[in-house]
Structures are given as structure tokens and as C-alpha cells.
Chains A and B, each alone.
Chain A
Amino acid sequence: MFIFLGLLVLVVLYIVGFYNGLKTTEVRIGASIQEIGNQLKRQAELIPNLVDSVKGYLTHEKGIFTQLTDARKLVTTALETQDPKAIDKAQASLTQALRSITVIAESNPEIKASNLVSNLMGELRDTSDKVMYARRTLIDLTADFNVKISTIPGIWFASMFGFKAKPGLETPTSGDFLTVNPKDTAPPQVKL
């Protein structure tokens, strides 16, 4: 009698634990889906701004280069025409360009430009990593959940509480991408 009662208590405790465990995972799955959205939002806000800042810097540098070529043109025409006014103008524009260059040279232009670009690449990789890991969390939690409700003994109780398998990260289960074409086996070409 007591053994029977003890067994009953154990079964009830197991079911309570089972239910709470699954509910917790269910809530976490919901949170992980929100996290994916959160990371996508971060990405959408961050990337255009980053690209803009790099663009801004590069046009700044481009401006100096055009300034420099303009100055050089002025110098050649001045030398051809030997016009003192033209020489004066060329000299002024050259000093202007040189001054800008020294300013950039002092702050190490190439390194700075390449730093900015590599920063951008770093941020790009980081943000896609973040989205990937957020998705990974969803996939892992879903796998946990689905394993629990589809194996013995969970499968006996899952339907009792109306637990159904979660779709996780939804990917089409048929189509071109499930087969590997000869084209896919070729190494990718990178053109710069």
C-alpha cells in the first residue's frame, strides 16, 4: 500500500518536473526568437551608419587627391604660359593642398583609412555572428524541447498537456539547396 502510494508520489513529482521543464524551455524559445529580432534591429541600425562614416572619410581623402591633381594641373599650365598670375594661383593652390596633406600625414592617412575599413569589416562580422548565435540559441532550445517530448517517457505525457513539436528556425525542406550541383563544388572566386 505504502509502496504504491510512494510510487504515485514519484510519478506525480516527475510529471510536475516534466511540465515545468518544458514550460521553461517554451518561454526561452519565445525569448530567443525575440533575441533574433533584437539582433536584426541592431544590425539594421548599425550598418548604414558605419558605412556612412567610412564613406565620409574616404570622400574627404578623395577631396584631397582632387585638390592635389588640380594644383598639379595649374602648375603645368602656369609653367606653359609663364603667366605670373597663373603661377601665383598655382602656388596658392599647391600650398593649400600640401597643407591638407601634412594634416593628414600627421594623422597617418593610409593607416587611418585602412583602420576605418577594417573596423567596418570587424563590425560587419560581429553583427552577423550575433545574429547567427541568436539563431543558434533558438535551434538548440528547440532541439532540446523536441527531444524531450518525442522520446520515452516524455512522449506519454506531452499530448496530455498539449505540447507540440516546435518548428525552430524554419527552413524549406525541399528544393535546389538540398542537392549539391557540380557548380557548387567549384572553389569560390573572389574578384577585387
Chain B
Amino acid sequence: MLKLTAITKKFGGLQVLDDVSLTVPECAIFGLIGPNGAGKTTVFNLITGMLVADSGTIELASARLDALAPYQITRRGVARTFQNIRIFKDMTLLDNVLVALGDHPSYNAFSIVLPLRRYRQAQRREQERAREFLSRVGLADKAQLLAETLSYGEQRRLEIARALATGPKLLLLDEPAAGMNSVEKLQLMDDITKLGEGGLTILIIEHDMRFIMGLCQQIAVLNFGKLIANGTPDEIRSSTAVIEAYLGQDNEAGGELGGVQA
């Protein structure tokens, strides 16, 4: 479904991504892990068009994404959440989701001049749809609250509801479990599994190993911008390259500890 080919990205002199190739199969829950600063979020930023790769291609279902503007990429079916939550805090939950529902064809500029019945009906239908997305993440009863009043875990779930409302085929989750307690994490794993069963392809960045190992069918590991492993959770767990990246290697020149790199 998603195919990255030989992606390279530099920030000034820093090689953030070096020849990364990655294929995410359709309907999979795919994990992307790696020590801090490995370039995981940069991969997301490249896929969604927030950054442009120096070289390499990105394809979604065989169509090139890398020359498109971010909003066009979203319209092709890629949605994401953010590591640092980016909900619209001064809006109600309902409005947050309504923004994401996209341009509605059934009414136009004239409707603002004269709000006819059809326009009001379309607005009502939109609100019902928005409520559905909220209920999928268990927030329907808080639809009229301002988003800033939500707890951290709820804000993350709202962000997922908003991403779903754009109608994605591929969902990118950037550390969805960060800051959640273990009960919330279990609930979230359950929600994500259901989304995957519903036919959505999901790519997750996460540091919580139990979370990622329990959820993903396949996992890729980035370290210093290079893909060092790619396989099933069991393969990743036993890969020496991955263990070295996280725990460091004895007697190496410089003796670097990947796990503490900022």
C-alpha cells in the first residue's frame, strides 16, 4: 500500500534519513521504532508532505505522493496524528471533527446567503457523521465540550477521531500511547486493532515495546536514519542489530549508546 524507495533527507549537515526503503502492506498494522532522533517522525513528515525528501520516492497504492501538497496527500487517503498533540483547543470536540470532514459538495457559497432547508439538512447530517467518529473513540458524550478541557489521553483519542474523519486508507499514529496510563493503553490497543480489522492500514511510531509488539504484524527499526531491521515482532526481538541500537555495543570506537541520543 505505502512504498518508500531510497528516501534521503538532510537537515543541513545532519543526515536524518539515509537511503530508507520501506513497504507497508495493505491492511497491516505496521510498527516503526527506533531510539530518539532516529528519524521516525521525519518519515511521517515526508509521507504527509510537511517536508520534501532530498531524493527517493513515496507511493501510495502505486500513485506518487512526493510532489503533492500536504492537503492533497490527505485527500488521497493519508491521515496522521502528532507526537505533540495538535487539536484545535478553543473549539468543541464536534467542531474539531467537523473541520476534518472535508469540503461538502451538497452546499455551496450561495447557502450562506440563503440557508435553505437542504443546507440545514446537510449541516445536520454532517454533525451526525462527526458524532459517529467521536463515538468510535468513546468521546460522543463530550461532543459539546471545548477540546482543551479533555485529559491528555482523551485529547489523543480526539486526534485519532479527527484523523479518521478525513476518510483515510492509511493512518499514521505518532506515539499514540505517550502519556497514557496502562488502562488507557490497553483500551487504545483495542481501538487500533478494531480499526485495523476494519480495513485500515496503520503505521505506528511508539516507544512502548509491549504496546508495539502486541499490536503490530510487522515492525521496522530505524537508527541514525538507517533502516537496520524489518520483520515480525519475534524477529525484531531477537535481532542483534536492534539490541545493539538500543543497548549499545561493547568495545565500539566512541562507545555510543543509541538509546540516549537526543
Say whether A associates with B.
no
